[in-house]
Amino acid sequence: MFKTLHRRVKDLERRLNIPTGRDLSDPEDRRRATWHFHLMDHAFLRVLWTNFYPVTDGVYRSNQPSPQRLHRYAKLGIKTVLNLRGNTPLSYYLFEKEACAKLGMELIDIKFAARSLPTPESLIALEQVFRTIPKPFVMHCKSGADRAGFASALYLMMIEGRPVDEAARQLHWRFIHLKSTDTGVLDHFLRFYAREHARSGIALMDWVRNGYDRDEVTRSFRDWQAGKWSAQP
């Protein structure tokens, strides 16, 4: 059902084909960017729904913030925004970059996906960001459900040494994360690592550097979906 709904939404977006403005200093481009942000990036859904929650002391998660919401975050004392959608010259990023500059907030970009696993290099880069990012900070993706939840779980494991079963609670339906869809591959990353840790006691980043095979974990997710994969070590 969710795959069908997602496909229909994408088909509608392609038919609408609203262009994104590229230059916010140009009034016409800014108008295009505003329409694109609200209709194509679904900002109208996020006016009241923020998916904003604390992860741990000085660390928050949310969906894509608008400039107005970034202003509220700045008033809360948040210094840094970690954008998990990457540096893409589309409406949402242009508005976010402009607002952060005006508010004196640091914007850090790193690209993760909701339906596919990161490379070892991306995970190592994320850990480095986590170790150096000025706090308080908020991390976000588009909906604040999948990438933000995955990164929140990784923060708890990488930086605070929390156990995987505790960290995995960041991927939960209350954040609108659905384990039964393709985004469940993020849960399976944690599930797979938990099995490896139970076998050998290997630390997360040691496993990422020396044992993690993205293709193998992805294949095992398909096996898990088919009921052919065991979490037992």
Q: Which band of pLDDT confidence, cut at 50, 70 and 90, is reported for residue 38? A: low
In this predicted structure, the answer to whether residue 75 has a pLDDT above a threshold of 60 is yes
**pTM of the entire predicted model:** 0.86
In this predicted structure, the answer to whether residue 61 has a pLDDT above a threshold of 90 is yes
Q: What is the pLDDT of residue 3?
A: 53
Can you tell me which residue has the tokens 């948040």?
78
Phi, psi angle pair for 99, to nearest 5°:
-65, -40
Most confidently modeled range among 6-20, 78-92, 117-131: 117-131
Across 178-182, 185-189, 196-200, least confident range? 178-182
pLDDT digits (tens, 9 = 90+) for 90-111: 888 888 999 999 999 999 999 9
Report the mean per-residue pLDDT for the chain. Answer: 89
What's the distance, CA 213 to chain centroid? 21
Phi, psi angle pair for 17, to nearest 5°:
50, 50
Across the range 75-98, mean pLDDT stands at 92
Non-local (6+) Cβ contacts of 39 within 8 A are 16, 18
- CATH 3.40.50.620 correct for 2-225: no
What is the identity of the amino acid at 24?
L
